[in-house]
Structure 1
């Protein structure tokens, strides 16, 4: 079974109890880690530190992803590590819950909201998702709340040559979280019904990027599609654009 097969098994599986076959597959493809700390940054954001021997001596680059088993059957969700300590055996996640509380949202939201220090988990990866190594920059990233983690990871790696523009549903919450994690210079634009805010997003991306920047478009699939068209109309070549949809309304497991 190749990695794409693992994606299909883990991301699309129904959350059923783990039987013998499920436990065998988890042992084959997943590795164990321990939740060392959980910090509640806001009602919908958790900063999570995982530790364990399986996290040591790992080849990791900013923008890569891991999949974490949700504890029921083969269901898993994808997260972008913010950082990775390959010597000490630790990684940090920034989890966003689409619903509030332990019963809100889907499996990923419930998993993050219910975590406590000392809990165990299983993960697969890291694997390639967004690759920033082929262009030195400058880079401008568009995304939403699900993109805060990849933005933070890439800011740590790329420094001041990395700018962010986010569409968000709650400006106050987003600003508080970004200040707490070190992305206080990110530009925030409130999400409006009917995509009425996306023209302002495109203008902000153009101002932040100038004539030579590369653009990474992440987060919500419909927004990425519209922004891609707008940037193309403004003369931004395909070689200067990357796209990675993390979610779309009514769908899961896009990455």
Structure 2
């Protein structure tokens, strides 16, 4: 059982500002706007829900699948797919997965109510305009914000995860209906679990489907090959790589 724990206000867990040099500060003034952390909550040991408010959010033309990028340290940014749980146009919610000790993980772990941060976006990331209600979705811990943003457009959701129970609990905390429709598969180091993912994605209605593949690069590549071999039209497959082992800066 996972118990949600809210971060304390201020104190030792406040997110570090780590200002960049003069050139970096000039770039930040041109490209970013300031956001305030309204709340930060640990849903499980590794999933955190962070709510940001910025005037610029309410002035933006949002589309499902858009991204925001939060400055974690120096000129290092961490990318999230935001979603809304309320009607406030200037508020966005980020569901993040704390993994490792990189600047992005440190910012997510330490973020606390009252912190301010530099944010770029919203900007276009994953085009979901043409995705119909019969879409299937594959992702992992880094893809849950995108899955929630898709909402009713998903016919079947499949996630690979290091801890399926933890992933399911985190998703259920922000989108119960999405979590009820999702299947979680435990990740194996040899990727043998992807055979199960292939079988689940094959369970589809007679109508042609769109497919949204996201998360780990090698998983996306394998599943894309499988879907095409099974007759899926490449134009109906939307792919978004969020990470790959040994690579930084993917978004």
Same fold (TM over 0.5): yes
* Structure 1: gaps spanning 5 or more residues: 1-14, 100-104
Which residue of 2 is the match for residue 129 of structure 1? 125
Q: State whether residues 139 and 209 of structure 1, in contact with CA within 8 Å, keep that contact through their aligned partners in structure 2.
A: no
CA distance in 1, matches of 2:205, 2:123: 28
Q: Does residue 181 in structure 1 map to residue 174 in structure 2?
A: yes
Once the two structures are superposed, residues 88-131 of structure 1 have per-residue CA deviations (whole angstroms, 9 ceiling, x without a partner) of: 411111111113xxxxx311111000010000001111111111
Q: 1:210 to 1:249 in 2, by over 3 A?
A: farther
How many pairs are equivalent? 232
Aligned ranges for residues 230-249 of structure 1 at < 5 Å?
Answer: 230-249=226-245
TM-score normalised to the size of structure 1? 0.85
Q: 1:166 to 1:210 in 2, by over 3 A?
A: farther
Q: Does residue 166 in structure 1 map to residue 162 in structure 2?
A: no
Once the two structures are superposed, residues 149-168 of structure 1 have per-residue CA deviations (whole angstroms, 9 ceiling, x without a partner) of: 1001111xxx1644310011
Q: State whether residues 62 and 83 of structure 1, in contact with CA within 8 Å, keep that contact through their aligned partners in structure 2.
A: no
Q: Does residue 142 in structure 1 map to residue 135 in structure 2?
A: no
* Structure 2: gaps spanning 5 or more residues: 1-16
CA distance in 1, matches of 2:79, 2:49: 15
CA distance in 2, matches of 1:210, 1:144: 26
Q: Paired residue for 1:26, among 22, 28, 51? A: 28
CA distance in 1, matches of 2:153, 2:75: 40
Once the two structures are superposed, residues 176-219 of structure 1 have per-residue CA deviations (whole angstroms, 9 ceiling, x without a partner) of: 11221222221111111211011110110111465411000000
Deviation at 1:172, TM superposition (A): 1.5
Deviation at 1:87, TM superposition (A): 5.3
Bigger drift between 201-210 and 49-58 goes to 201-210
SS state at 1:193 partner: coil
SS state at 1:195 partner: coil
Q: State whether residues 58 and 86 of structure 1, in contact with CA within 8 Å, keep that contact through their aligned partners in structure 2.
A: no
Q: 1:26 to 1:86 in 2, by over 3 A?
A: farther
Deviation at 1:138, TM superposition (A): 1.2
SS state at 1:147 partner: helix
CA distance in 1, matches of 2:142, 2:112: 21
CA distance in 1, matches of 2:182, 2:40: 24
Q: Paired residue for 2:59, among 54, 57, 60? A: 57
